[in-house]
């Protein structure tokens, strides 16, 4: 992509987002007025989980990552399908990166909680 060309506008509804960071660019650069609305929606979804450990881990994800994780949790589908449902093309392996990051953050949260109980 040439730096002299502007970032293209949002894709037509239902079209895959070929670049996982497209959502970030759309919200932060092209449509910042929508950013607060989307963040509020994601926060409401995070707060809807009964287990506070889940919310603590989800809050450590970026907005697009949280979208994929919540889609996966709510629909019970594969990580690939969760990303595809949000229009993120699987070619970038974004779904797999989100899965690994969520597992890593969950493991870290569990280890820290266990250490706090042991000290405690």
Domain boundary assignment for the chain:
22-119
H or E segment at 48? none
pTM of structure: 0.69
Q: How far is CA 54 from CA 29, 61, 62, 66, 101, in A?
A: 30, 11, 15, 11, 14
pLDDT digits (tens, 9 = 90+) for 25-80: 555 556 667 777 777 888 888 888 888 899 999 999 988 888 889 889 888 999 98
Taking the C-alpha atoms of residue 74 and residue 91, their distance in angstroms, rounded to an integer, is 23
**In the block, residue with structure tokens 């040439």:** 2
Phi and psi, residue 34, nearest 5°: -85, -20
């Amino acid at each position: 992509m040439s730096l002299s060309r502007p970032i293209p506008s949002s894709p037509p509804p239902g079209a895959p987002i070929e670049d996982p960071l497209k959502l970030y660019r759309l919200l932060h650069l092209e449509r910042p007025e929508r950013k607060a609305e989307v963040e509020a929606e994601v926060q409401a979804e995070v707060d809807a989980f009964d287990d506070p450990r889940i919310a603590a881990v989800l809050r450590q994800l970026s907005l697009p990552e949280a979208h994929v994780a919540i889609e996966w949790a709510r629909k019970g589908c594969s990580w690939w399908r969760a990303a595809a449902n949000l229009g993120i093309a699987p070619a970038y392996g974004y779904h797999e990166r989100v899965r690994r990051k969520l597992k890593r953050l969950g493991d870290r949260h569990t280890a820290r909680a266990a250490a706090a109980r042991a000290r405690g």
